[in-house]
């Protein structure tokens, strides 16, 4: 972790400990209301896909999902087939997962391959995107292989995470977009974690599904059977560019992660360890949440919320990482954590979002409200509106300005 990020983490820890002691959180200036069509308008939905998901860097994988030379991951994002590869020397590349001959998908799932052969006509590509073989080329005819390389997307790897912009011509400054937030995330040392499991869960409008990650107001109500009715509903927010971090404002020693964090308040700052200071939920704009759950082996869940085929559909991809390979005895505890998180989202969060969708789609509720205690939601939607209103040329200035001045 660089010195600036470390100092910022220390200062945030001081502030959070003070707030845990006082029970006071910072509040937004006023209640905000948003038009309910935000969640139901098909035209708005299509604009979001174009202006957010096809222009902004999307965190598409953890580095440990592609740990070695030749490793690859194929996935689909807003109907775009994407192929991530790690070439010799360690560089990650991102391509349209499509043969440049007639568009066939080249790979699926995960694996290790230094070349990909099209299953339709047999054209072969290196994992750096170069076309190296055209079957029956004498009969096929003249073709410039250099001009028939895979379509490549801008990619950026930092803090053990991989971001991709789904626009081959994008000139977006990904580092400026991250606003130094990735420097803070290095505190997890994710490069050295291991992939454990991945699931995909269906939900309603992608924003309804993602809203639940941006506030703790609902915890003791919606999650009273899983987290308990006595859990705090207060979040303290810390913002950096369009990204944010939430700390649960509850001095509850029964929550292991919080109990460890509270102990920092009774020891000298020189003894504070980075892993404990990383307490909280980390939000990567526009659609990713990162949570770490302590157990015998630490478990991390990275939740990516993607738009589905229609305004009323989304899917949440949960990627589970572990800090090291669990022993046979530890695996049972890890599986219990994974199953618990899936239960919370599958049986509580997502069913609620579907019920919201049904009511909002009636058109009879004109507005939704974001409270002063839901400042993260207010900031999130302010950033959404600013990004959607910005031209392609204006995005870099928007993010560069955000790194220099408070929002």
Are the C-beta atoms of residues 155 and 97 closer than 8 Å to each other? no
Q: What is the pLDDT of residues 355-378, one digit of tens each?
A: 999 999 999 999 999 999 999 999
Q: What average pLDDT is seen over the chain? A: 94
Q: Other CB atoms closer than 10 Å to residue 381's CB: what's the count?
A: 17
Are the C-beta atoms of residues 255 and 167 closer than 8 Å to each other? no
Q: How far is it, in rounded angstroms, from Cα 76 to Cα 220?
A: 35
Are the C-beta atoms of residues 290 and 274 closer than 8 Å to each other? no
CATH for 58-171 (2.40.50.140, 2.102.10.10, 3.40.50.720, 3.90.79.10): 2.102.10.10
If you average pLDDT over residues 230-251, what whole number do you get?
Answer: 91
If you average pLDDT over residues 28-46, what whole number do you get?
Answer: 97
Helices (H), 42-107: 42-48
If you average pLDDT over residues 270-294, what whole number do you get?
Answer: 94
**3-state SS class at 161:** strand
Q: Residue 69 above 70 pLDDT?
A: yes
Q: Residue 251 above 70 pLDDT?
A: no
Return residue ranges of the chain for CATH 2.102.10.10.
58-171
Q: Residue 252 above 70 pLDDT?
A: no
Q: How far is it, in rounded angstroms, from Cα 306 to Cα 154?
A: 19
Are the C-beta atoms of residues 384 and 52 closer than 8 Å to each other? yes
**3-state SS class at 317:** strand
Domain 3-56+175-402 sits in CATH at: 3.90.380.10
**pTM reported for the whole predicted model:** 0.95
If you average pLDDT over residues 172-176, what whole number do you get?
Answer: 96
Quick one: CA dihedral 329, 334, 340, 343, positive or negative? negative
Q: Residue 258 above 80 pLDDT?
A: no
pLDDT at residue 380, rounded to an integer: 98
pLDDT at residue 406, rounded to an integer: 43
Structure tokens at 95: 């391509």
Return residue ranges of the chain for CATH 3.90.380.10.
3-56+175-402
Q: What is the pLDDT of residues 98-125, one digit of tens each?
A: 999 999 999 999 999 999 999 999 999 9
Structure tokens at 154: 């801008």
């Amino acid at each position: 972790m660089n010195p600036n990020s470390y100092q910022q983490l220390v200062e945030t820890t001081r502030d959070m400990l003070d707030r845990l002691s006082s029970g006071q959180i910072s509040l937004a200036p006023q209640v905000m209301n948003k038009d309910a069509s935000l969640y139901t308008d098909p035209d708005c939905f299509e604009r979001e896909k174009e202006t957010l998901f096809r222009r902004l860097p999307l965190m598409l994988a953890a580095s440990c999902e592609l740990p070695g030379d030749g490793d690859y991951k194929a996935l689909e994002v807003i109907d775009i087939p994407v192929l991530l590869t790690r070439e010799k020397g360690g560089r990650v590349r991102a391509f349209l997962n499509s043969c440049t001959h007639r568009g066939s998908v080249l790979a699926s799932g995960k694996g290790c391959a230094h070349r990909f052969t099209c299953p339709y006509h047999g054209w072969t590509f290196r994992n750096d995107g170069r076309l190296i073989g055209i079957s029956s080329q004498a009969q096929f005819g003249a073709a410039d292989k250099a001009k028939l390389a895979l379509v490549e997307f801008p990619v950026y790897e930092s803090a053990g995470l991989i971001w991709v912009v789904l626009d081959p011509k994008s000139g977006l400054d990904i580092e400026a977009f991250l606003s130094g937030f990735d420097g803070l995330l290095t505190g997890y040392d994710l490069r050295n974690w291991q992939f454990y499991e991945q699931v995909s869960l269906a939900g309603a409008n992608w924003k309804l599904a993602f809203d639940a990650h941006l506030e703790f107001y609902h915890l003791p109500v919606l999650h009273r059977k899983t987290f308990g009715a006595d859990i705090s509903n207060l979040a303290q927010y810390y913002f950096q560019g369009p990204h944010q971090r939430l700390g649960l404002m509850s001095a509850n020693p029964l929550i292991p992660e919080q109990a460890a964090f509270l102990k920092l308040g009774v020891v000298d700052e020189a003894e504070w360890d980075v892993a404990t200071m990383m307490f909280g939920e980390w939000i990567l704009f526009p659609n990713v949440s990162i949570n770490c759950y302590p157990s015998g082996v630490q478990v991390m869940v990275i939740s990516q919320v993607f738009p589905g085929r229609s305004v009323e559909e989304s899917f949440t991809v949960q990627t589970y990482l572990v800090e090291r390979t669990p022993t046979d005895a530890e695996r049972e505890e890890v599986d219990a954590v994974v199953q618990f998180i899936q239960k919370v989202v599958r049986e509580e969060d997502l069913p609620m979002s579907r019920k919201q969708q049904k009511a909002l789609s009636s058109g009879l509720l004109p507005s939704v409200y974001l409270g002063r205690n839901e400042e993260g939601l207010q900031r999130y939607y302010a950033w959404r509106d600013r990004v959607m209103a910005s031209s392609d040329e204006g995005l870099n200035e928007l993010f560069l300005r955000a790194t220099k001045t408070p929002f």
